[in-house]
Chains A and B, each alone.
Chain A
């Protein structure tokens, strides 16, 4: 141990690990402090019942940046790759889509889907370029900012008149109208609606849901995979890479506060009183936790605090884990279908109605689900012959009217099971034990304010130039030496490592000056 580090990273989530590894590779002495007893943040594998493990929060990989994998020499072992998405039909006539192909729908829907996919991937590629670099500042005379903005304008124009117009029309629009215009199949529209609203406080009719869809597609065009050993193995690989580069990682080290002297960050203090000094403090925690708890309002200008306080980050996605003695029966399913990504979202209005409840602080009586059985391709997760189900369930608002008391939790669980039973009649017989994590639980376990997996709602008013808040989209906080590197900063959530990588670039540039 040394008494002064070049940089301290608070939180060993995937972005914190990526950031620390990149800093260490550039020759810095880096210390990572993690509150929990294992690294990974919300990307971990954990046992929830005797012998049964799942990816406890994030459970699918679809945004991992190739550049991050390369920079960190990550060799992620995939259990399954290029998963199809199957939208369940009660009568067994499911709709399946993967890439630009869709089956279970009529010919015109198939043709339109290919067209839709082509356009969306094209727009998401444009978006992706700007997700992987720090956003420019607006309204300044800085040459580099102006250049980036000019490039953005140029890239837009380069798409051609028709596509540029379409981009400008769609970027603020809702997915519902676009789907309605294009497709007939309710299941296809339901599935794509769910894709657009996963992890948000939006319904398919809410404007802005095209943006969330594009964000999902950015990078890998929505190609889904699951890592061998669950999500924890991804962050394990990241932490191995970080350690190999010389990063020191201490777990069970909960940071109490960032030490600030004369407006400059000088280090951190742990709950047990230990103090670590460093000129650079990087927080992988969400912006609210960082600025309001670890830094404290008294150290920041009021207007800035006000903005941080106003960040919308109340989660709506709950996580359901079930230990199964056998796979449940699903009508019309072949063996290989079980290992795909399975959605319960019968139509776009169903998804919208599920969202209605969330607006009033109630959980959806008819929730939408994203289901996987990761143990099929990865036997390490469950005892032989048995299986686990890992599902994202929406909507379960963080601020539930009854504060998620026992009754509310039981009711919600019953609601979920009755929806599941419509498609998997024997699910209750297969279920050995189950666990439900509401956003409140996710907040407790992963220390994410509001339990929001994007660390802040992904809407245009909290995106790019204004993420996390106006005037601080370039990772640097208004305290000298303090940076953000989590999903709360640009570009946002998903296991991509983009925020961590962008932040590391900014920090290293500072060193040069």
Chain B
């Protein structure tokens, strides 16, 4: 039986990136995956004949360029196509568009409010400043503020210095930005409901928070801090669907000699005398390695795949209380043609090239959250709808389209029990009806619909409650608190066991930073040469 230097559990994008960096450093790495396909939540799957569905994550921007370059992902077929802007359809028949072109964006905003069009410049400067600040910390390990180790103190000083460099005034702005709600933050700049609504969506996507919950302004960054071709804050589609990202990472891993085994779900992580030994697969087979890295979320890793007695009680308890909440669902739809949206002027570049939203007021946004708190799906949801096939012809047969609808809010359970099939249908209907209100021919074009509640996502991919970030992005679970205080440096409390999923700093999104950071820590512990880029301020 072959013994590996390291086993990575889960071939999601972070697991693959982690394995690739370890393999690049010369380690003999095996990545095991429970499904018969790789990619975790970054996949392109043919769920309807000749259609490729990005059926989980659907857009790409956060993937760190340093990782992209370092692993030479372009050589492995990854291509990102930037896309337009966004559009907000309004109940009164109007729309609010936002464009990549600043001139067009300003003109359109001014059509709704001159005041807001002017405020936007200030807003975007201020927000980008926060973005630049946080980008410094993405590819670094969070320091432990309670530690006296030179490495932690150095890192803490570095972090402190980055803040101090802002200067007094901007430092205060940063404190405020990191703690306030997205609604309050936008309220300081804008006066028009639809414009605020359009911008507020990014503050709640993937979280179990409402736009009025303090801390949601920060979540904005998780949607702004990426870049496509050096354009900070812009978004793109991976050509061929999100599976292209995973395939490219897998290609990189294999080019460094790493192995991938699919259909090899892990049943148990084997521990002896507080030292990891390897993994036992569901098939009963055992594979040994001195290092095991888990790409699974922390609840799944420690509560499902380990023995409670192998973990410190306080750690186990914190993991049990780790907040990883199902708050969003997904509809993947095959369309017979491009639906029309009569609110948009003929020939509008927004059709098919923008994120479409069908909600136009802050009150509706927040009420959608109230439904979730009551243990049910939003009857009037926030939908982030894209049609990637409009810019990527490889996804569908010619003339046909693929529509991805990210839906918030959608609980993992209905009032504490499993979803019934009637409820799934009602959830699907609430999404389709909302879109039909703005597109009369939409319903007739539908060929196939895949509905995914958080429970479905958990069942298929394994993420607890289908939480896209592997854990809430609240202050108590960020930076040195992520996943839990004292264990934010990718090391589990068992020797040789590491975490590399989005439950760790800096969190979710197809960013691959947690995987890369974990690899750096592993190489540090093994005293191997670091292969992981550690950028500091590429801005």
> Measuring CB to CB, which residues of chain A are less than 8 angstroms from any residue of chain B?
137-140, 156-157, 161-162, 164-166, 168-174, 177, 181, 202, 205-208, 306, 310, 312, 349, 352, 356, 359-360, 459-462, 465-466, 470-471
B363 contacts A360, CB within 8 Å? Answer: yes
Tell me, in angstroms, the Cα distance from A168 to B476 when the chains sit together.
7
Task: Give Cα distance in the complex from A202 to B176, angstroms.
Answer: 17
List 16 interface pairs A-B (beta carbons < 8 Å), by A numbering. Answer: A138-B171, A139-B168, A164-B145, A165-B486, A168-B485, A172-B179, A173-B474, A173-B475, A177-B323, A181-B321, A207-B475, A352-B373, A461-B180, A461-B214, A466-B175, A470-B172
A169-B485, A356-B370, A470-B172 known; A310 vs B179 contact (CB < 8 Å): no
- Is B172 touching A138 in the complex (CB atoms < 8 A)? yes
Contact of A470 with B184 at beta-carbon distance under 8 Å, contacts A165-B486, A172-B179 already known? no
A173 & B476 in contact (Cβ 8 Å cutoff): yes
| Minimum CB–CB distance for B511 against chain A, Å | 22
Least CB distance from A129 to B in Å reads 19
**B-chain residues with CB within 8 Å of residue A138 when the two chains form the complex:** 168, 171-172, 175
Measured as residues with beta carbon below 8 angstroms from the partner, the interface class of chain B is: 35 or more
Residues of A with C-beta under 8 A to B177: 461
| Chain B residue at minimal CB-CB distance from A159 | B146
Q: Are A169 and B481 in contact (CB under 8 A)?
A: yes
In the A-B complex, the 4 residue pairs with the smallest Cβ-Cβ separation, listed nearest first, are A172-B475, A470-B172, A165-B485, A460-B179
In the assembled complex, the Cα of A274 lies from the Cα of B172 at a distance in Å of 39
Which residues from A are CB-within-8-Å of B425? none
Chain A nearest Cβ from B172, distance in angstroms: 3
The residue among A140, A166, A172, A461 with the most chain B CB atoms within 10 A of its own CB is A461
* Minimum distance in angstroms from A126 CB to a CB of chain B: 15
Q: How far is the CB of B180 from chain A (nearest CB, A)?
A: 4
Cβ of B272 to closest chain A Cβ, rounded Å: 28
Given that A206-B214, A207-B474 are contacting pairs, would A166 and B146 also be in contact in the complex, using a CB cutoff of 8 Å? Answer: no
Contact B184 A471 (CB under 8 A): no
19 additional A-B residue pairs with CB within 8 Å, beyond A168-B480, A207-B209, A460-B180? A138-B168, A139-B164, A157-B146, A161-B146, A169-B481, A169-B485, A172-B179, A172-B214, A173-B476, A207-B476, A310-B187, A352-B373, A359-B212, A359-B366, A459-B214, A461-B175, A461-B176, A465-B175, A470-B176
Chain B stretch 155-179: residues in CB contact (< 8 A) with chain A: 163-164, 166-169, 171-173, 175-177, 179
List residues of chain B with CB within 8 A of the CB of A312.
Answer: 184
Is A172 touching B146 in the complex (CB atoms < 8 A)?
A: no
B169 and A170 contacting across the interface, CB-CB below 8 Å = no
- The answer to whether the Cβ of B35 comes within 8 Å of any Cβ in the partner chain is no
Q: Is B36 an interface residue (CB 8 A)?
A: no
A303 → chain B, closest Cβ, in Å? 9
* Interfacial residues of chain B within 289-305, with CB under 8 A of chain A in the complex: none
Query: With A164-B146, A168-B485 given, is the CB distance from A471 to B169 under 8 Å?
Result: yes
Task: Indicate the member of A165, A168, A356 with the most B CB atoms within 10 Å.
Answer: A165
Complex CA–CA separation, A164 to B480 (angstroms): 12
Say whether B213 faces chain A, with CB atoms less than 8 Å apart: yes
Taking the closest CB of chain A, its distance from the CB of B414, in whole angstroms, is 16
CB of B525 within 8 A of chain A? no
CA distance A241 to B481 in the complex (A): 48
Task: Say whether B278 faces chain A, with CB atoms less than 8 Å apart.
Answer: no
The answer, yes or no, to whether B215 is at the interface (CB within 8 Å) is yes
- Complex interface: chain A residues within 8 A of B485 (CB): 165-166, 168-169
A381 to B360, CA, bound (A): 52
Interchain nearest-CB distance for A221 vs B (Å): 23
State whether the Cβ of B422 lies closer than 8 Å to any Cβ in chain A.
no
Please determine whether A459 and B213 come into contact, CB atoms closer than 8 angstroms: no
* Interface flag for B188 (CB, 8 Å): yes
A168 to B166, CA, bound (A): 23
Bound-state Cα–Cα, A356 to B450, Å: 33
User: Is B215's CB under 8 angstroms from A207's CB?
Assistant: yes
- With the chains together, A156 CA to B370 CA distance in Å? 37
Q: Are B168 and A172 in contact (CB under 8 A)?
A: no
Contact call A459/B180, Cβ cutoff below 8 A: yes
* Contact B321–A208 (Cβ < 8 Å): no
In the bound complex, what is the Cα–Cα distance between A10 and B385 (angstroms)?
A: 55
Residue on B nearest A464 in the bound complex, by CB? B175
Min Cβ gap A458→B in Å is: 11
Interface string of B248-274 (1 = CB under 8 A from A): 000000000000000000000000000
User: Which of chain B's residues has its CB closest to A205's CB?
Assistant: B373
Tell whether, in the assembled complex, residue A466 and residue B176 are in contact, meaning their CB atoms are under 8 Å apart: yes
Query: Which residue among A137, A352, A459 has the maximum number of chain B CB atoms within 10 Å of its CB?
Result: A459
B215's nearest neighbour on chain A, judged by CB, is A207
Nearest A residue (CB) for B486 = A165
State in angstroms the CA–CA spacing of A174 and B280 once bound together. Answer: 39
From A177, A207, A466, A470, B214 is in contact (CB under 8 Å) with: A207
Q: Scan residues 467-493 of chain B and give those whose CB is less than 8 A from a CB of chain A.
A: 474-476, 480-481, 485-486
Contacts of B169 in A (CB 8 A): 470-471
Chain A's closest residue to B216 (CB) is A207
Q: Are A168 and B370 in contact (CB under 8 A)?
A: no
Closest to B163 in A: A139
Return the contact of B213 from the options A168, A207, A460 (Cβ within 8 A): A207
CA A206 – CA B212 in complex, angstroms? 8
Most chain A Cβ neighbours within 10 Å, of B167, B179, B184, B323: B179
> Would B323 and A460 count as touching, CB distance under 8 A?
no
Residue among A138, A173, A177, A459 having the largest count of chain B Cβ atoms under 10 Å: A138
* A208 in contact with B145 (CB, 8 Å): no
Residues of B near A461 (CB, < 8 A) are 175-177, 179-180, 184, 214
Which residues does chain A contribute within 8 Å of B176, judged by CB atoms?
461-462, 466, 470
In the complex, what distance in Å separates the CA atom of A327 from the CA atom of B175? Answer: 49
Known interface pairs A161-B146, A169-B476; A208-B373 also in contact (CB < 8 Å) = no
B471 to chain A, nearest CB (A): 13
Q: Which residue of A lies closest to B320 (CB)?
A: A181
A461 vs B177: C-alpha distance when bound (angstroms): 7
Q: Which residues of A contact B146 (CB under 8 A)?
A: 157, 161, 164-165
Q: Which residues of B contact A470 (CB under 8 A)?
A: 169, 172-173, 176
State the CA gap A137–B480 with chains docked (Å). 24
The residue among B167, B173, B370, B476 with the most chain A CB atoms within 10 A of its own CB is B476
Q: Is the CB of B175 within 8 A of A460?
A: yes
**A306 nearest in chain B by CB position:** B188
- Take A461-B214, A465-B172 as given contacts and tell me if A139 and B474 are in contact as well, using a CB distance cutoff of 8 Å: no
For window 189-236 of B, CB contacts with A under 8 Å fall at 209, 212-215
Residue of B nearest to A460 (CB): B179
Q: Which residues from A are CB-within-8-Å of B476? A: 169-170, 172-173, 207
* Chain B neighbourhood of A466, CB < 8 A: 172, 175-176
A168–B373 CB distance below 8 A: no
B417-453 Cβ-contact flags toward A at 8 Å (1 or 0) = 0000000000000000000000000000000000000
CB distance from B505 to the nearest CB of A (A): 14
Given contacts A173-B476, A470-B169, contact A460 B214 (CB under 8 A): yes
Quick one: given A165-B146, A168-B485, A208-B179, are A140 and B480 in contact (CB under 8 Å)? no
| Residue ID in chain B nearest A466 by CB atoms | B172
A494 vs B321: C-alpha distance when bound (angstroms): 33
Expressed in whole angstroms, the minimum distance between the Cβ of A217 and any Cβ of chain B is: 19
Please determine whether B486 and A310 come into contact, CB atoms closer than 8 angstroms.
no
Closest Cβ of chain B to A124, distance in Å, is 18
In the complex, which residues of chain A have a beta carbon less than 8 angstroms from the beta carbon of B367? Answer: 360
* A169, A205, A310, A465: most-surrounded residue (chain B CB, <10 A): A169
Nearest CB on B from A310, distance (A): 5
